[in-house]
Structure 1
Amino acid sequence: MNEDMNIFNTLESEVRSYVRSFPTIFTKAKGYKMWDKAGKEYLDFFAGAGALNYGHNHPKMKEKLIEYITSDGITHSLDMASTAKAEFLNKFNDVILKPRELDYKIMFPGPTGTNTVESALKLARKVTGRTDIISFTNGFHGMTIGSLSVTGNSMKRKGAGIPLQNVVTFPYDNYVDDQNSLDYLERFLEDSGSGVAIPAAMILETVQGEGGINAASPEWLKKIESICKRWGILLIVDDVQAGVGRTGTFFSFETAGIKPDIVCLSKSLSGYGLPFAVTLIRPDIDKFAPGEHNGTFRGNNHAFVTATAALDFWKDDTFEKEIKVKSEMIYSFLQKLVDTYPELKGEVRGRGFMVGIASEVDGLSNKIAAKAFENGLIMETSGPKDEVFKLFPPLTIDEQGLKQGFEVIENSIRSIVKEPVTI
């Protein structure tokens, strides 16, 4: 297998990352399982970093896509009208927006998470006439210049090669234990001597994925919304990773009872792992001129087809109830690990299927993830120091698959924390 990997080591750029964490050549995937060239089976508790909430190669979506392709359906159309786009727009409005009493115009930016964030930041600045954005500690919003400017990770920010400006970063919920961070934020907005101008927007994730699985409380989110309304600041919720059911509801902000001005969606929106993003915009701020934000691949009709099929999961509350039951299983398992293995010095974080354990022991989470991969389970780490190993299985995984994964994870932890110390 090492010889087979040489092609990547020799020809692919040094920027490659996941192939280093999971050094094998994958050949097949179905549901919550993947297989490599040697035939080894892996449980996928990574799910494409949240892009595969319905698992790999979902049969209904695959059937619809194959049917569309073999009938010579439109593949590429920029933002021209197509039947596939019309069907998605209608179904998304009927199944997702109307039942939640949400009124948004649907914009198709380029098909990536970073592009929906870029479009949101541009629109906020255009609508308000202001330049600054408030972001929050440990936020991650993408790797292009605009979205990188509102991202907290210093290593990723340095990759820009230029100063990242017009952004002020404030503490996320529970970032500082001994003070209310939002009182601090409001004081800055009120004080003409603070050096902080009224921003165009605030951007946040309700659960920070790459930043360490930090979950904001409903109270904190409601206070953010009230501050934004008071000062005429647009609220952007980046639901690229936390949305589409990952935290238990289609939008991660539903449980907080807030209604953002702009919502960014991508990753699992296509349902099949195809590139696809939308920016949801409050109708009265839908102010882009025609073509003012565009992209060659914003008309990904194959993604329209699979995304439309994926919305069947949300026609009633059955799927949401299933997510809740399995989420409780995952959370209980993680809490048991923290209690059983004090060597972890661990803390359970997150909501729904977006959870993990933060370990105070330097490097331990990386060791656990590496051992789990060796034992046939794929999961990644997150946080400023990779201190969190996180569980991101597909939302469609059955209880047997979860329990099988739990066993692998616990065995991996046991072998790491119980192994003898060599001197």
Structure 2
Amino acid sequence: MTITPPALSVFETLESEVRSYCRSWPAVFDRAQGSYLHDEDGHTYLDFFAGAGSLNYGHNNPVLKRALIDYIERDGITHGLDMATTAKRAFLESFENVILRPRDLPYKVMFPGPTGTNAVESALKLARKVKGRESVVSFTNAFHGMSLGSLAVTGNAFKRAGAGIPLVHGTPMPFDNYFDGQVPDFIWFERLLQDQGSGLNKPAAVIVETVQGEGGINVARAEWLRALQDLCHRQDMLLIVDDIQMGCGRTGGFFSFEEAGITPDIVTLSKSISGYGLPMSLCLFKPELDIWEPGEHNGTFRGNNPAFVTAAAALNTYWADGQMEKQTLARGEQIERALLAIVDENDGAGVSFRGRGLVWGLEFEDKPRASAICARAFELGLLLETSGPEGEVVKLLPALTVSPEELDEGLRILARSVRETA
């Protein structure tokens, strides 16, 4: 595919230098449907990024689009603050009946604002309010958002530096397998908690991703997550699972922690909870933690009613019968086989892979190669991004609705891109 980068335009002359994805994908996109995007010059791209995980059901999913159009055409409420609306009621009833009740999860639901970092901020604030302590423990290579509280529990040095002020009240601990299995799980963390001379203030909570997406597709073992929950219970700390990118079915089950059999005290959701790419986030927590005063955590855009409409349609369409989880795991096996073949083809070249469900990472010891592979894939019509602290991992994040044929197409392009950048 021959792609002519867009000429100097309003994007370069008016938009801030902070823009990033458009630098990796120099095209002006115009339309999208399912797993494909089309630019204004007629080029087609297979999407293995899915809006950073916010489009689990593909672009302009026809079922969700129909529900949204019908709602708008009847002049349904668009902006409602936190008022009761029919759209919010339909979402809450669907979420309870399709997601929470079948999993025996007791959570109260909070709408903290439109984005993932809003959900994380509310979770941190609530944990500190409940426990009366300031410190929160996070993990190496974690990513939890770009606002100050979320950045304080994020590991990436580049993103932390953008804060411009000290990021306090967060303490990092080693994520699962950080020491390549050479150190027993939590020995350092627990020793600091027990030692009155350690200098670690008693934490209110621990926040964790079961799979670190931005951190390099680092997958926590189920036994590690169970041990972490046990440690939190023994040490009177709340366990917060950030499921913003890995929830809503990305790893198979609706929640990524289901496989481990744990029940976090607090859970954050965003990205694909609306199903359609509309801004929406949730903070879920056990009922006994609901000590908020009315209006104590406020926000103008907490109630995105069009997002409630598409969210309810997504839950009722894809999660009522249990088939989505089975399909995601089957598609994941298809990716795993393809990545194994790529690693075998690059034997001795420092290539490895890891993942769960429909999130996978291909890591390169030659770190700049990952970016070169993504650039070549774009030229061949495939959208991929890198992750990891040095961009050393090629990240695969296709829609959950991707077909086996679309997966094969993208995986062939990936394999070709790896060969052509060797």
Aligned residue for 1:99?
A: 102
Aligned residue for 2:174?
A: 171
Query: How far apart in 2 are the matches of 1:3 and 1:302?
Result: 33
Aligned residue for 1:335?
A: 340
Query: How far apart in 2 are the matches of 1:390 and 1:88?
Result: 31
Paired residues in the alignment total: 417
Query: How far apart in 2 are the matches of 1:14 and 1:3?
Result: 16
- In structure 2, relative to structure 1, the CA distance for the partners of 1:196 and 1:67 (3 Å cut) is same
Q: CA RMSD in A?
A: 0.9
Aligned residue for 2:218?
A: 214
Match of 1:81 among 48, 64, 84: 84
Unmatched 5+ stretches in structure 1: 418-423
Measure how far apart 1:3 and its partner are: 4.7
Residues 1:236 and 2:212 are matched in the alignment? no
Match of 1:64 among 63, 67, 71: 67
- In structure 2, relative to structure 1, the CA distance for the partners of 1:225 and 1:307 (3 Å cut) is same
Aligned residue for 2:156?
A: 153
Query: How far apart in 1 are the matches of 2:209 and 2:183?
Result: 21
Instruction: State the AA in 2 paired with 1:51.
Output: S
Aligned partner of residue 22 in structure 2, secondary structure: helix
1:205-354 mapped onto 2 (5 Å cutoff):
205-312=209-316, 313-342=318-347, 344-354=349-359
Q: TM-score, normalised by structure 1?
A: 0.97
Measure how far apart 1:6 and its partner are: 2.4
Match of 2:382 among 370, 374, 377: 377
Aligned partner of residue 342 in structure 1, secondary structure: coil
Moved more, 240-249 or 179-188: 179-188
Query: How far apart in 1 are the matches of 2:367 and 2:30?
Result: 34
Matched-pair identity in %: 56
Measure how far apart 1:318 and its partner are: 1.1
Query: How far apart in 1 are the matches of 2:364 and 2:398?
Result: 20
Q: TM-score, normalised by structure 2?
A: 0.98
Measure how far apart 1:273 and its partner are: 0.2
Question: Contact conserved, 1:109 with 1:119, CA < 8 A, in 2?
Answer: yes
Cα-to-partner distance string for 1:87-138 (whole Å, 9 max, x where unaligned): 0001100000000010000000011000000000000000000000000000
1:363-374 mapped onto 2 (5 Å cutoff):
363-374=368-379
Unmatched 5+ stretches in structure 2: none
Match of 2:11 among 8, 13, 16: 8
- In structure 2, relative to structure 1, the CA distance for the partners of 1:66 and 1:37 (3 Å cut) is same
Residues 1:399 and 2:400 are matched in the alignment? no
Question: Contact conserved, 1:5 with 1:23, CA < 8 A, in 2?
Answer: no
Aligned residue for 1:190?
A: 194
Match of 1:390 among 391, 395, 420: 395
Question: Contact conserved, 2:6 with 2:26, CA < 8 A, in 1?
Answer: no
Aligned partner of residue 169 in structure 1, secondary structure: strand
Instruction: State the AA in 2 paired with 1:220.
Output: W
- In structure 2, relative to structure 1, the CA distance for the partners of 1:138 and 1:169 (3 Å cut) is same
Question: Contact conserved, 2:185 with 2:224, CA < 8 A, in 1?
Answer: no
Query: How far apart in 1 are the matches of 2:176 and 2:169?
Result: 22
Match of 2:366 among 361, 368, 389: 361
Query: How far apart in 2 are the matches of 1:179 and 1:368?
Result: 34
